[in-house]
């Protein structure tokens, strides 16, 4: 752990120097705080969604409407976590926000906004941050309890074998719920 503004912070799990806005496929897991089952219950390998679970599912499907450079693949909303495959497609537009492409790092304005993880818009973290905050805002506005775990897990898909294995894992998540590490029972 390191100090930031005199407070200890847990180091990022992201790969230092990797551009998480670059085209590729990513396996994502987003968990609720303390693995609380906000999204529903599983009985006989079928999930019955709670009202906030329905919203979490619907808002996941809406991600490409808000981030046109994103496509979705397999996903599932489980009682206390979400697994999904997110595809970042080529984004050909010229980006001037967060010092990308048009401003050199020697520009004083740019140095003030420089982030060691690169631009913080149009990347994987921005997408997940937006998703989590939108679902949380809906929950707050409708008096549903929901708390997210502060981070999310990501895995960069590097080949077809890994992709097929992860797709199968997502498809079988309901069947494997009883032995899932996210199932606290």
Dihedral angle over CA of 174, 167, 69, 157, nearest 10: 130
Residue 108 CB partners (closer than 8 Å, separation 6+) = none
Q: Which domains does the chain have, with CATH numbers?
A: 19-178 (3.30.70.1290)
Other Cβ atoms closer than 10 A to 143: 6
Q: State the pLDDT confidence band at 9, using cuts at 50, 70 and 90.
A: low
pLDDT at 121 over 80: no
Beta-bridge partners for 41: 48
pLDDT at 13: 58
* Pairwise CA distance, residues 171 & 174, whole Å: 7
pLDDT at 54: 97
Q: State the pLDDT confidence band at 122, using cuts at 50, 70 and 90.
A: confident
């Amino acid at each position: 752990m390191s100090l930031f503004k005199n407070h200890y912070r847990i180091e990022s799990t992201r790969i230092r120097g990797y551009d998480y806005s670059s085209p590729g496929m990513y396996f994502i897991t987003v968990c609720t705080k303390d693995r609380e089952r906000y999204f529903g219950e599983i009985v006989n390998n079928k999930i019955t969604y709670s009202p906030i679970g329905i919203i979490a599912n619907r808002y996941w499907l809406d991600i490409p409407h808000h981030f046109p450079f994103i496509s979705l693949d397999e996903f599932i909303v489980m009682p206390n976590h979400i697994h999904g495959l997110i595809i970042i497609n080529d984004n050909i537009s010229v980006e001037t926000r967060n010092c990308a492409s048009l401003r050199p790092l020697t520009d004083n304005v740019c140095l003030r906004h420089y982030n060691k993880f690169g631009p913080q818009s149009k990347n994987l973290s921005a997408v997940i941050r937006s998703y989590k905050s939108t679902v949380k805002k809906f929950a707050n506005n409708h008096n549903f309890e929901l708390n997210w775990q502060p981070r999310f897990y990501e895995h960069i898909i590097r080949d077809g074998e890994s992709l097929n294995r992860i797709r199968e894992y997502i498809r079988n998540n309901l069947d494997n719920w009883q032995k899932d590490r996210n199932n606290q029972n």
